[in-house]
Amino acid sequence: MHDLSSNHPFADRQTLRLCTAGSVDDGKSTFVGRLLHDTKSVLADQLASVEQTSADRGFDGLDLSLLVDGLRAEREQGITIDVAYRYFATDKRTFILADTPGHVQYTRNTVTGMSTSQVVVLLIDARHGVVEQTVRHLNVAALLGVKTVILAVNKIDLVNFSEDVFNTIRDEFLTRAGELGISDARVVPISALRGDNVVEPSENMPWYQGQTVLQMLEEVPVHSGRALDLDFRFPIQYVLREHASDYRAYAGRITAGSISVGDGISAPYGRTTTVTHIDSSDGEVHKAQAGDSVALRLADDIDLVRGDLLAGGTRPEPVREFAATVVGLTEKNIAPGQAVKIRYGTSLTRGRVAGVERIVDIDGKNNIEAPEHFGRNDIAHVSIQVANELPVEDYQARGAVGNFLVIDQASGNTLAAGLVGKRLTS
């Protein structure tokens, strides 16, 4: 792994977060291994081990899937299937890759991996084309607001590098992506096993004049998140007081937008004030933005508590009920009318799942209307009621605002993750 500390030569390069997804046996392990190997992001001892194991198994060349399969096998034997994060770099930028399991039952992990990614690389087998799991992952990407999806048509060598096969798959995929509103959909024919069009251009497909997967990843404009383009949002996490000096500040993490000293902001119940100081871990600063943890000092003495929202621009209206899409995270089922707690931002309030409209079949075929309950890996359209008004707003910027957790009242365990106002079209 590369050292990404501040004194490392890679430190000043932009970082792109991406996620791989695909069905089982689509070659995802080999693809990730190929990326790591061909960008020289593999330690010498790792490579030697792969070479030895490949030889022992009679493999012709390197079995690059061994670079990632060992960890995945260990994870899948356990109770919790997590997302593995891998790091690699080129001369142009660094990359953080979320490698998610391919099994259908691990939809929740795909949601986790995609939720922090700007780009999703979908792997499919050229022999099978666009399958249900491809559509499922494409739907999740659309749900989470991912705009750039790269379809890597793998194992193209097993269909004799056929341009016709590739074109058929490409056309179907681009149609699906367009229907879901994914604005930047790309398709690349690859052979992860041979290395065609992953990092190095292929000599076996003269009919394809496009970029390799890595070239695309190097040229997608990196943004720190659309969160910066949104109005200022600051859920208060702590109220800081020093009575001896009359110091009072409100600490938390800026979830959206930016703030400068002198900016006007709004607080609950129609109150407005001005930011007089911004304190950071490095001392006072003049400006802060999404992702920064700071303490704000205000011009007016306003009674604010943990969970209150300070906002710039158009302030979201507090509501007692809202529609959402939720993803079940545990074996425990959630039924209509069930009492829960809702964590939105830094606030935690009592609530209930007022209704479950449907469980969405993201393959687009068999929605379950008005179900009796939903559970792990189910994606459901619901209505949520809360005991105390919450200033919720539609999910934007992949987690900047509009995301919440549904928590079991008795155990405190997280039952589901939700996106305010989102509706999955299917």
Q: Which domains does the chain have, with CATH numbers?
A: 15-222 (3.40.50.300), 227-311 (2.40.30.10), 319-420 (2.40.30.10)
3-state secondary structure of 158: helix
Q: Whose CA is closest to 255, among 221, 290, 282, 229?
A: 290
pLDDT given for residue 66 in this prediction: 52
CA–CA gap between residue 173 and residue 149 (Å, rounded): 10
| Nearest Cα to Cα of residue 97 among 26, 34, 24, 174 | 34
Q: What is the pLDDT of residue 271?
A: 95
Distance CA 62, CA 163 (A): 27
DSSP string, 91-108: SS-EEEEEE---SGGGHH
Confidence (pLDDT) at 183: 86
Q: What is the DSSP string of 20-46?
A: EEE-TTSSHHHHHHHHHHHTT-S-HHH
Give me the pLDDT at residue 22, please: 82
For 206, how many CA atoms within 13 A lie in the half-sphere containing its CB? 0
Asked if 390 and 324 touch (Cβ cutoff 8 Å), the reply is no
User: In this predicted structure, what is the pLDDT of residue 47?
Assistant: 56
Tell me which DSSP letter residue 261 carries. T
- The structure tokens listed for 395 are 């999910």
Give the pLDDT of residue 259. Answer: 96
Structure token pair of residue 333: 């089922």
210 to 156, 301, 413: CA distances (angstroms): 15, 60, 47
What does the pLDDT read at residue 21?
87
CB 2 within 8 Å of CB 10: yes
What is the pLDDT at residue 424? Answer: 56
Taking alpha carbons only, the member of 115, 21, 82, 146 closest to residue 405 is 115
Question: What single-letter amino acid sits at 3?
Answer: D
Helices (H), 200-256: 213-219
How long is the chain?
A: 426
DSSP β-ladder status, 339-344 and 148-154 = unpaired
Enter the DSSP assignment of 300.
S
Q: Could you tell me if residue 17 is left (phi over 0), alpha (psi between -120 and 50 degrees) or otherwise beta?
A: beta
CB count, 10 Å around CB of 211? 16
pLDDT of residue 136: 79
In tens digits, the chain (426 residues) has pLDDT values of 334 334 444 445 678 889 988 877 777 778 888 888 778 766 555 556 656 665 666 666 655 555 555 444 433 443 334 567 788 888 888 888 887 765 555 666 777 778 778 899 999 999 999 988 888 788 888 878 788 999 999 999 999 999 999 999 999 999 999 988 888 999 999 998 888 999 999 999 999 999 999 999 999 987 655 677 789 999 999 999 887 778 899 999 998 899 999 999 999 999 999 999 999 988 999 999 888 899 999 999 899 999 999 999 999 999 999 999 888 878 889 999 999 999 998 999 999 999 999 888 765 567 888 889 988 878 899 999 999 999 999 886 656 788 888 999 988 888 888 889 866 554
Alpha helices for 20-179 (secondary structure H): 28-38, 44-56, 66-77, 107-115, 132-143, 163-179
